[in-house]
Structures are given as C-alpha cells and as structure tokens.
Structure 1
Amino acid sequence: MLGFLAARQAGVDDPLRLRRAESTRRVLSLTLNPDREVDRIHGNAINTIDIEVIEGRYMLSGGADGVIVVYDLENYSGKPQYTCKAVCTVGRSNRHVHKFSVETVQWYPHDTGMFVSSSFDKTMKVWDTETLKPAEVFEFEDNVYSHHLSPIARKHSLIAVGTKDPKIQLCDLKSGSRIQVLQGHRAEVLSVRWSPRHEHVLATASADSKVKVWDVRRASGCLFTLDQHNGDKTKAASEAVNTAHNGRVNGLCFTADGLHLLTTGTDDRMRLWNSATGENTLVNYGKVSNGSRKRLQFAVSRGCGPELAFVPCESSVAVYAVHTGELLTTLRGHYNNVDCCEFHPDYQELYTGGKDCNILAWIPVLRAADVEEESKRANQAAAAAAEPPSVNPAFQDAWSSDED
C-alpha cells in the first residue's frame, strides 16, 4: 500500500493503479456475509436482479412467482449486522403484477424513477417507481426471455427484446411502439445485450447455437455471426457452420470497456470474443456447468485488473479471470441452483439469487484499517439514524402500493 502511495506521489504510477489494485484485492476476498441479509420476499425462484448505477443504493429483483421487489441496500442501523429492507413490492395483490415468471428486470440507466420488467406472460412493462404502476405495456405473441436498455445511448431510447419468436423486437420508449425487427435467428432468442462502447451495437444469443452482433442503423442489420472455429472449415466439418456453441446460447455479457464479449452455452462452455472482429480468443475456461434452458444472468467486474467473471454453476458461483480462463475461486452458499449474479462496482460486492428463493450478499474481507473505517462510518450512520431516513422521492408514495 505504501509503495503504491509513494509511486503515485512521485508521478511514477497511473493515479488509478492504486484504486484498481485495491478493488481487485477486495473482489478476490469476497465471502458470504453472515451479518448482512436481504429480506426474503419471493416465494419462488429468483430469476433476475439489477442494481441502479445512479446512487448504487437500490436493487431490483424478479421471481418465478411474478413478483418484483425494490430493496434499499443502505445500512441505517449503524450496526455491522443489518437487513437490506424491501422498500416496495409489486406483489400478487397488485392488479398490475405479472401473471407468470418475471425473466428480466432493469433500471432505467439515467434515473431511478423508472424500471422495466419482462415476463413469460408475453408482456414487457415500463414501471413508474413513484406509483408502482405501468406507464407503458408492450404485448408480444410469445414468452419474453430477455430485454435490455443501452447504458450509454443518447441518440435512441430503444429496448431490445428477445422472445420465443426468432425475431428480435426493438421497442421505442419515446413512441411506445415496436419500430424495428431484426431477423436472422432460427430459434428463440434467450439473451440480448447492448454494447457499453457503441450505442447502436447489439449482441443476441439464441437456442439455435448462434450469437449475432448487429448495428441497428444498417439496413442489413447483422454485422457478423460468431464462429467458434474462426472460419476453419476443417474443424467445423462435422458441426454446424458459424455456431458460437454446440448447444443453446443463454448468456451474454460485455466487458466493462466493451472490447470483449463473454458467452455461455448449454455445451458447458464459456467463450471470450473480440467484439469488434468477432474472433474467438480461444481462452479455455474448462467445464462451466450450465443446465439452464432460459437466460443465465452472469456478471463481469468493473475497475479491477484483471477483469473477473462471476458465473452461476449449479448451486455455486465460479469466479474466473476473464482473459486467462483461470478458475480463481468458487463461492458456495445457496441451497439450490443459482440463476443470477449482479456486481456492485462501488463497493466491490456481489449479489446472487437462486431457486432457493434467497438473495445472498458477498462482501470483501475487511483488513484492520478497513474495520476502523467501517466503525467510523457506522458511528456516523448511528448519529444520522436519529433522523428519519431519506428515501428517494420516487419511492415515497410506493410504501403501501401493494394494494393498488
């Protein structure tokens, strides 16, 4: 630590190097936190979670019971042991609740006043967090597996939607209508993901074993289809041409800089691709157990060196070095299969949800200096606890909205 500080003061090191090194140390020390719990609200499997990036304070979850929950991750008690409370819930008594399993939830990237959910009830709903009522409802002819809003878009407000129909739907938030269809897949589209680097670039994964990368401004649409053999016809002779995996492709995730794309498939493989050229980098992760027939939500760290991937593998979470394929550690704590992971870059924490109906918090092991700092923060929180906690205005009217 002192070496980093001295090098930074002398101007030898990049100012971000210390931050990157400490973030990496914290991520590599992740462990299940016995002092932090998350309210158990869902009565069935938790399929999806998302943490908003504005304050890094509120978390969404969606379950197989159709319920959506908003959690506040802040600690108001001033004590090390606390529970992340549910701020509001779209429960079974809410007349706007999804009728079937919620497959994807996502905060609007630019403020917490809105979030989007999609479900097997063939709808995607855009929710007003103040009233917990849908501001817009998009209806489809088939089950919705996945949707995604671009985290960086300024020139469009499109939501990409993957359904049981091979066609990818692009819905416009401004007009409230479906404005474009991308055709090319031959089976259901299980996962969609916008690039964090180029706002018009979209990646889609399908049960037809293919991953396609699109530029939605182009008339032809598809830029390229990922090929696990990099065009080597001799290796692909006994297999389908231009396939990313030898099974259903159900997971997509760009690295934070958008230069690479990670994919997972039911062939128990994970692959890393150059997102600009579509080249398979041939990184070997070994066997990555994947028996899910739906979208698998995994996460990639931000602000770390090297970058790390958190991948659900049955009832545990495997942590891989993205660019070397090394399995660094395995996080065990769930009693049943893990379905979703979400990384919190502000505190280098990980939240996971699974079929055991639990959301678990994994936090870094604290050093002595960290413990002292945490104690100081806890004392400040205890002093502030004498006053009513300030809640985002968007949630003020949602506390008792279950009965709406």
Structure 2
Amino acid sequence: MLSFLTARQTGVDDPVRLRRAESTRRVLSLELNHDRDVERIHGNGVNCIDIEVIEGRYMLSGGSDGVIVIYDLENSSKKSHYTCKAVCTVGRSNRHVHKFSVETVLWYPYDTGMFVSSSFDKSMKVWDTETLKPADVFQFDGNVYCHHMSPIARKHSLIAVGTKDPKVQLCDLKSGSRIHFLQGHRGEILSVRWSPRYEHILATASTDGRVCMWDVRRAAGSLFTLDQYNGDKSKASSEAVNTAHNGRVNGLCFTDDGLYLLTTGTDDRMRLWNSATGHNTLVNYGKVVNESRKGVKFTVSRGCSPEFVFMPCGSSVAVYGLYTGELVTTLRGHYNNVDCCEFHPDYQELYSGGKDCNILAWVPVLRQPDVEDEGKKGGAQAAVNPAFEDDWSSDED
C-alpha cells in the first residue's frame, strides 16, 4: 500500500487507482463482525434488505412475517461493541402492515422520505417514512415477486413490477396508476432490474427461462432476449425461443457501470452478459446452487478492481470474481439459508439476511500486512480491469 501512496504523491498514479486498490483489499478481507449486532426484530425469515444511498446510514428489511424494519447503521454510542437499533417498525399491530410475506423493499433513490414494498398479499405500497403510512397502494391479481425503480431516472418515475402474471407491469409514481404492460414472457416474473446506465432500459427474468431486455419507450416488444448459446443453433433446443438458463431465472443484477448483467437460475448456473449486445461472456462460475422458487437477491461490489459477486448459497454467502468466475471465499455465519445480501459501497461492508431471522454485518478486517507484499498484491489486482468497449448504439435515438 505504501507503493500506491508514494506513486500518488509523486503524480505517477491517478488517485482513482489508489482508491480502487484499497477498496479491493477491504473486500478481500471481509469477515463476520462480532462487535456489531443488528437488532433482531423479525419473527420469521428476512427476505430482503436495502441501504439508502443518500447518507448510507439507514437500512430497510422485509420479512416473511410481513414486517418492515428501518435500522440506523451509525454507531451513535461510540462504543467498540454496539447494536444497530431499529428506528421504526411496521409491525403486525400496524393496520397498514402487509398481510403476507414481504418480498422486496426499496428506498426511493433520491430521498429517504419514501420507500416502496411489495408482498405476497398482491399489493405494492409506497410508504411515507415520517408517518409510516402508505401514500399509495397498487393492487394486483397475483402474488408480487419483485419491483424495482431506476436509480438514475430523471425523465420518468416508473416502478417495474413482477407478479404471477407473465406481463411485466409498469406503475407510475406521479399518476398513481399502472400505465403500461410489457408482453413477451410465458411465465411468472421473478426478477426485474433497471439499468444503472440508461434510464429507459429494463431487464426482466421469468420462470420460462428467458431474460428480456426492454426499452420502455418502445411499445413493439423487447429489444432482444438473452441466448445462452450465442446463436449456435446446434447447441440450442428445438424450441424457437432463446433461453438464458435451463430452468427458472430468479435473479438479476447489473454491474455498477451498467455494462454487464448477471443472471442466476435454478439450473445451478450464474452467467455474465454484455448488456448492450446480449452476448454471453461464457465466464464459468461453476455450480452455483439455487433451489429458490422465489427471487434471489444477490449483489455486486462497487469501486473494486476487479469487482466481486456476493451470492447467497445455502447458509453462506459465496464471493466470486466477477470476470474470472473464481470462488474467492465463502462467508459463513448464518444458521439457516441466506435469502438476501446488500453491499455498502461507502465502507466496503456487506449485510446479509436469512431464514434464521438474523441480519449479519460483514466488515473488512484491519490487519498489518507486509508492506512489500501488500504493494505487489494491490498492484496486481489494480491492473486487472477489463476494457469496456461496447455501448448502446441506439441511446441517442
């Protein structure tokens, strides 16, 4: 690390290189924090968590008991051992609480005064954080598996919603109504994800094994459907439609720059795609056990070189190299299956929730490494950074 500091002081290296090297070192040293507890509120499994990006201080969680909790992650006690307390809770006694399992919770990207939750009670609720009352409620005909808001949108306020219906539904926060349906899937929609690069680009995954890429400004149909065989008809099945996985596709995650898309399915495979062309990069992650009938909430690191994937696998979280497919390490600490994990980019920390009703904090361990070895290791890691040459050719259309 001293070699990076020296190079930065002399002007040899860009400051971004030092920051990425340190972020990478911190992610590689993640361990369960025994000095930080997250208050246990949920009486059943934790299905989803989300950390707001405004201050990076407040975390949402939703559980199988229908309860929603807001935690304060800041150490206000200034003690070495502390507990992240629940600031407020939408509990079973609240008349507005979801009746069944909460599948997704999401902060409004620009303000902590609002968040959105969806549930198996066939509803999606837009909450006022101050009053803990729904400002708007969207009702659907079937279970709601997922929803997502664009983290960068300025020209629209759409929420993409996946339900038992094969049509992807777009709800407008401004008008409070469902304004459009995206038709192309043949099964339940288990995951939806807006691109962090282009505000009108949406990825959707279904039980039919397909992943579709949409430009919501175009009503004709999807831009393209991901093909795991990259157009090689000799390897494809007899069916005319392209499939991303040989089973249900229940997880989607864009890289932070939006250039790549990760998918996971019940065929125990995880795949990395070029999000502009739909090309399967053929990165081999090995067998990634996935038996979930619902959506899988996994995440990707930010600010590292190279980046890493955090994937719930049984009662642990598997950490993979994003571009190499290498299993870097396995984080063990839960007593039951892990259902979700969320990366905190400000501190390179990870939070995971599982069926054991616990939310665990994984933090970098501050060791005193050998100066020369650390400099060499950091330099090697920082040098690994793939060139992103592809882009959306139709962005200016």
Q: Provide the rounded CA distance (Å) in 2 between the counterparts of 1:331 and 1:3.
A: 30
Which position in structure 1 is the counterpart of 2:154?
Answer: 154
Which residue pairs with 1:76 in the alignment?
76
Residue 367 (structure 1) shift: 3.2
**Could you tell me how far 1:2 is from its partner in structure 2?**
1.9
Q: Which one-letter code corresponds to 2:11 in the other structure?
A: G
Distance 2:79 2:241 in 1: 57
Q: Does 1:322 align with 2:308?
A: no
- 2:193 aligned with 1:193, yes or no? yes
Supply the distance in 1 between the matched residues of 2:111 and 2:60 (Cα, whole angstroms). 14
Deviation at 1:255, TM superposition (A): 0.2
How far the C-alpha of 1:238 sits from its partner, in A, is 5.5
What residue in structure 2 maps to residue 41 of structure 1?
Answer: 41
Return the alpha-carbon distance in structure 1 between the equivalents of residues 366 and 189 of structure 2: 42
CA drift at 1:7? 1.2
Question: Which residue does 1:242 correspond to in 2?
Answer: 242
* Aligned position for 1:278: 278
Q: 1:99 Cα shift?
A: 0.3
How many residues were matched structurally? 369
Deviations 1:265-307 (A, max 9, x none): 0000000000000000000000000010000000000000110
Rounded Cα–Cα distance in structure 1 between residues aligned with 2:66 and 2:30: 30
CA RMSD of aligned residues (A): 1.0
TM-score (norm 1): 0.90
For 1:337, the equivalent position in structure 2 comes to 337
The aligned residue for residue 29 of structure 1 is 29
CA shift for structure 1 position 9: 2.1
- Residue type of the alignment partner of 1:327: L
Q: Distance in 1 between matches of 2:262 and 2:351?
A: 20
Alignment of 1:42-61 (within 5 A): 42-61=42-61
Superposition pairs of residues 190-269 of structure 1, within 5 angstroms:
190-237=190-237, 241-269=241-269
CA distance in 2, matches of 1:95, 1:266: 37
1:313 alignment partner in structure 2: 313
Distance in 1 between the 2:122 and 2:341 partners? 24
Where do 1:175-186 residues align within 5 Å? 175-186=175-186
For 2:282, what is the secondary structure of its paired residue?
coil
Describe the superposition over 1:76-112 as per-residue Cα deviations: whole angstroms up to 9, x where unpaired. Answer: 1111100000000000000000000000000000010
> Normalising to structure 2: TM-score of the pair?
0.92
Matched AA of 1:128: D
The letter of the residue matching 1:194 is W
Task: Name the CA distance, whole Å, in 2 between partners of 1:148 and 1:31.
Answer: 29
2:103 corresponding residue in structure 1: 103
Output the CA distance in 2 between the equivalents of 1:135 and 1:250.
29
CA distance in 2, matches of 1:240, 1:364: 48
Q: Secondary structure at the match of 1:367?
A: coil
Q: Separation in 1 of the partners of 2:18 and 2:80?
A: 27
Q: Which amino acid aligns with 1:301?
A: S
Tell me, in whole angstroms, the C-alpha distance in 2 between the residues paired with 1:182 and 1:35: 47
Residue in 1 that maps onto 2:166: 166
> 1:117-140: CA deviations, max 9, x gaps?
000000000000000000000000
Partner Cα separation in structure 2 for residue 202 and residue 239 of structure 1: 25
* Aligned partner of residue 222 in structure 1, secondary structure: coil
2:353 counterpart residue number: 353
Letter in 2 for 1:40: R
Report percent identity of matched pairs: 82
For the 8 Å contact 2:184–2:221, the answer to whether it is kept is: no
Structure 1 unmatched ranges of 5 or more: 370-404
